[in-house]
Structure 1
């Protein structure tokens, strides 16, 4: 049986959709714009009735227009809020599973959204515009159908069209909007299209216009805090990334099992020499006495350097490659430095191991 609140919600959405349809298709049929205006006001009024009550103060929506499993900072936010007694609605793409702590937490509810592609025919601008429109409708549907939240915490970038939609929902439902600034969306777009491209200029205007509308702002560094204040007029709080207690040192036995699995696939992890001893299982980093099942790290092991590939174009991966060249130069000049095994992983690049220096 539908509750009065649910009925009010659907009536409000119906009124707003009706206003849009009347506006688009009713102009030539004698329907006047005052009718459109009144229909829209009715929808807004019904949504206003569903504004915050006392129960919403312990509910927060954490919104990511990206893969939740590859958004560690937003997972930390969700976990931290849940441990402080908040019921968290975690919205985003579920291409990769979030951490088990997030999945096990009873106060965190995952709400998956599908990645919108847009129309795949015609010019690229048509694809982009249709993608933005469809994503707006998708987010409105998801955010308006959930329980009213006291706050919506959103990661930026990506912020188009999420910031505008979240602002609208917060106004309609009396929620407070918080943006966690990781970067600027328009600067990332400029790497592909150039700073003078009309889409990039529109994206910059969009962030400048909607960004200051947030109730609170977080950022990842003091440098970004200063830039937000100086160039955007946004007062933000620096919240450094800090790994939660779910991150612990991996036990030696588990490390060894991982190294042996990698050794079966990549020669850089395979031990060289002393292979006649059948009682000892070795990788280049560790060895296990099979009789006593005791694992130790090898004294002559190389250093392990692990890095993911760039998720966005603004992360210049050539910096690491240049550093490796400099490192090799120091070794050739006689510096006493360990060999390196470099593991580069990522969604767009298979696991690759460079030769030891």
Structure 2
């Protein structure tokens, strides 16, 4: 016969437990709290130093990340020790390399050598970068006051930095420098803002970004977006416009047109108008429209239009396609197109020789600005830019450049003819660009950002 056991609850446990059970429960509840409080001190002790330190993280090539390199130099000038971490595909500017306060820490580049599908390669890349970032943050984190992150990319860097701050280094001040929006760049691949991966990326950026101590944006429109659409605290968002470094300066003469190898095989180079653009050859810049415009310019019967030498600097996934298209178009000597991968020292020298710059940046978000135009203005070179919502914050129509509201080849051709045949207009645009060249990074940084990192 089965004996039925009557449930008596927990009363018998409390009856015979004594005070030890209360102590055990108290310890059980308090241990996680104690671990959270004591973990940072258990693993790391803060180094004794009178100097502050900043860790700048860039999941990109430092040699072609001028804004982050300029940040590093500015922190150095206000007495910070700087660890500048990123890819070393090209040599960073000499002033960064030579600065004794700046320690350059390489991050390995992850290439899709096995031609894996996008999602699989993305997962592999994230885990590889995660391992590298954890090592850097673990080794460098103990003495750091400020961690600055370039965004995009935000995966996995934003999450791992915030987790380190939450559990280990709560003295960190986390700063995100917003160059663009990661989810809009991802959307260039899917062309569907409601795609699950795009929506996940948007949630990731908008949710985690709120935990940063400071968000720096490159435009006022981006600041407005982060506050209104992402729900960021207004007091934690500030706009800091890009400004050129001191290496970008107007040319005193056009002598390098004869001396530099890029010009040496161009006969009668002094007769050519030099048009320049820089790019990473990515889908957010449609160079076909420029090449088509140059084809129209080439076939024009107007004898008043001068010949053009177009120099396109940079490298990227679509460069081979660009070069092949140039070969197929087979321009006459009236239009010469050259591509160049210039060092950080040569780039401003060649840029300063240009009569006009052109930006085909359309902006995946519409609220960022191309650094290349800032560099053009630093060298006193006016620009033609495609139109998008934030461009008016940089290019002033008819003053320092022209904005192509209609981004067709026919319109670009008309603008090129207009600028290169109207000396009065070109002179006015150059004066506006020269005026822009007087506004420099150092003065702007000290005015806008210095007080955020220095206790007076």
Same-fold status (TM-score > 0.5): yes
Out of 142, 149, 157, the position equivalent to 1:162 is 157
Q: More displaced, 315-324 or 304-313?
A: 315-324
SS of match in other structure, 2:334: coil
Contact 2:165–2:172 (Cα < 8 Å) also in 1 = yes
- Higher Rg of the two aligned structures: 2
Query: Which deviations, in whole Å up to 9, do the C-alpha atoms of 1:158-182 show, x marking residues without a partner?
Result: 1111111111223321201000111
**1:302 positional shift:** 2.4
Counterpart in the other structure of 1:75: 69
TM-score scaled to structure 2, two decimals?
A: 0.56
Q: More displaced, 140-149 or 178-187?
A: 140-149
Out of 202, 205, 211, the position equivalent to 2:203 is 205
Contact 1:57–1:150 (Cα < 8 Å) also in 2 = no
Contact 2:298–2:334 (Cα < 8 Å) also in 1 = no
Residue 356 (1) aligns with residue 349 (2): no
Counterpart in the other structure of 1:129: 123
User: What CA distance in whole angstroms lies between the structure 2 residues aligned with 1:115 and 1:244?
Assistant: 26
Residue 245 (1) aligns with residue 239 (2): no
Query: Which deviations, in whole Å up to 9, do the C-alpha atoms of 1:225-256 show, x marking residues without a partner?
Result: 11112111223211111112233345658714
| Equivalent residues in 2 for 1:317-356, closer than 5 Å | 317-318=287-288, 320-321=290-291, 324=294, 338-348=306-316, 349=319, 356=334
User: What CA distance in whole angstroms lies between the structure 1 residues aligned with 2:81 and 2:73?
Assistant: 10
**1:111 positional shift:** 0.4
| Equivalent residues in 2 for 1:128-147, closer than 5 Å | 128-146=122-140, 147=142
Segments of structure 2 that go 5 or more residues without pairing to the other structure are: 1-27, 336-456
SS of match in other structure, 1:55: coil
SS of match in other structure, 2:247: coil
| Equivalent residues in 2 for 1:1-357, closer than 5 Å | 45-49=38-42, 50=44, 55=49, 58-117=52-111, 120=114, 124-146=118-140, 147-171=142-166, 172-173=168-169, 174-195=171-192, 196-234=194-232, 235=234, 236-250=237-251, 252=253, 255-256=256-257, 258-259=259-260, 261-264=261-264, 267=265, 269-271=266-268, 284-285=269-270, 301-318=271-288, 320-321=290-291, 324=294, 338-348=306-316, 349=319, 356-357=334-335
Contact 1:218–1:237 (Cα < 8 Å) also in 2 = yes
Contact 2:51–2:79 (Cα < 8 Å) also in 1 = no
Contact 1:67–1:96 (Cα < 8 Å) also in 2 = yes
Segments of structure 1 that go 5 or more residues without pairing to the other structure are: 1-34, 272-283, 286-300
User: What CA distance in whole angstroms lies between the structure 2 residues aligned with 1:211 and 1:245?
Assistant: 32
Contact 1:310–1:316 (Cα < 8 Å) also in 2 = no
**1:308 positional shift:** 1.6
Seen in structure 2, the aligned counterparts of structure 1 residues 158 and 258 have a Cα distance that, compared at 3 Å, is farther
Give the RMSD, CA atoms, in angstroms. 3.5
Q: Which has the higher contact order (CA 8 A, sep 6+)?
A: 2
TM-score scaled to structure 1, two decimals?
A: 0.70
- Moved beyond 4 Å, runs of 4+: 38-44, 51-54, 117-124, 250-254, 318-329, 331-334, 350-355
**1:90 positional shift:** 0.0
